[in-house]
Amino acid sequence: MLGDITLGQYFPGKSILHYMDPRVKLVLLFIYIIALFVFDTYGCYAVATVFTVALVLLSKIPAGMVIRSLKPIMWLVIISFIMHIFSHDGEVIFQLGAFKATVEGIIKGFLISLRLLLLIIVSSLLMFTTSPLLLTDALEDLLKPLKKIGFPAHELAMMMTIAMRFIPTLLEETDKIMKAQQARGVDFESGNFINRAKQMVPILVPLFISAFRRADELAMAMEARCYHGGEGRTRMKKLLVGKLDYICITWFIFVIGALAGLKIMEI
């Protein structure tokens, strides 16, 4: 049943990508995504593809996991590919009614799909190699400057942390409740849509009750430990940008430089 859902996407490991500072990873990812859109010559695509594949190998995440993370957007990619085939002028290959498939369309469609795939792969690499807690810490840190204009960076990060902390717990809870109701004769695996929807009630009611109870208990426990918001709070584990990060940043600048060079030379 729910046992197959992994806890978030984080895949613990010991690779360079795992050890990098999460803030550095976030910023570099952001720049890389922009670069994927700006630098769009054939040469750029080739370099970006090689770089992305190299990142996957470097992360030591099983290729199967990475490919599985592409599944949810596969339809989007396929549809956009088909749309592009038919929406560019040029040498006509075949015709379906009023729609003309062109060579240019196929090439364009391929490149756009490739860009989309690369985008998703690097983003999921970030999720795979960074624990959710580190990720929110990084986000809070990066958003800190916005506090001056009243942006609730700490509160937002705390909310995300709590949400992520409780997703596995809630999944576990759902699994338990589902099993318990199955033991009372509920059949989740068959029946039509309405029947299935009805069967959600015996799951949702206990789930909500327990979620509210947990929220209540957590709030109490936080207060009991003197939580009073982000003001003056210090960290036990400080995020540190170290030697490894500088090396990675240097490499990254090389790659971006190469992409920019190819774009300028229009290769």
Determine if 7 is a binding residue for another protein (CB under 8 A).
yes
Choices 1-9, 98-106, 149-157, 248-256; region in contact with another protein by CB under 8 A: 1-9
Q: Which of residues 203-232 bind another protein (CB under 8 A)?
A: 205-206, 209-210
11 vs 81, beta carbon nearer another protein: 11
Determine if 54 is a binding residue for another protein (CB under 8 A).
no
Nearest to 243 by CA among 14, 16, 1, 5: 16
Non-local CB neighbours of 135 within 8 Å, separated by 6+ positions: 22, 26, 126, 127
49 vs 210, beta carbon nearer another protein: 210
Determine if 201 is a binding residue for another protein (CB under 8 A).
yes
Q: Say if CB 241 and CB 21 are below 8 A apart.
A: yes
# chain residues binding another protein, by CB under 8 A? 24
Non-local CB neighbours of 87 within 8 Å, separated by 6+ positions: 105
Choices 42-50, 129-137, 201-209, 259-267; region in contact with another protein by CB under 8 A: 201-209
CA–CA distance, 178 with 167 (Å, rounded to integer): 16
Strand pairing report for 99-102 and 92-96: antiparallel
Q: Which of residues 167-186 bind another protein (CB under 8 A)?
A: 176-177, 179-186
Determine if 79 is a binding residue for another protein (CB under 8 A).
no
187 vs 223, beta carbon nearer another protein: 187
Structure tokens at 36: 């994927």
Nearest to 52 by CA among 145, 114, 120, 122: 122
Determine if 9 is a binding residue for another protein (CB under 8 A).
no
Q: How far is the CB of 80 from another protein (least distance, A)?
A: 31
Determine if 3 is a binding residue for another protein (CB under 8 A).
yes
Q: Say if CB 93 and CB 103 are below 8 A apart.
A: yes
Structure tokens at 51: 């770089």
Positions that interact with another protein (CB under 8 A): 3-4, 6-7, 11-13, 176-177, 179-187, 201-202, 205-206, 209-210
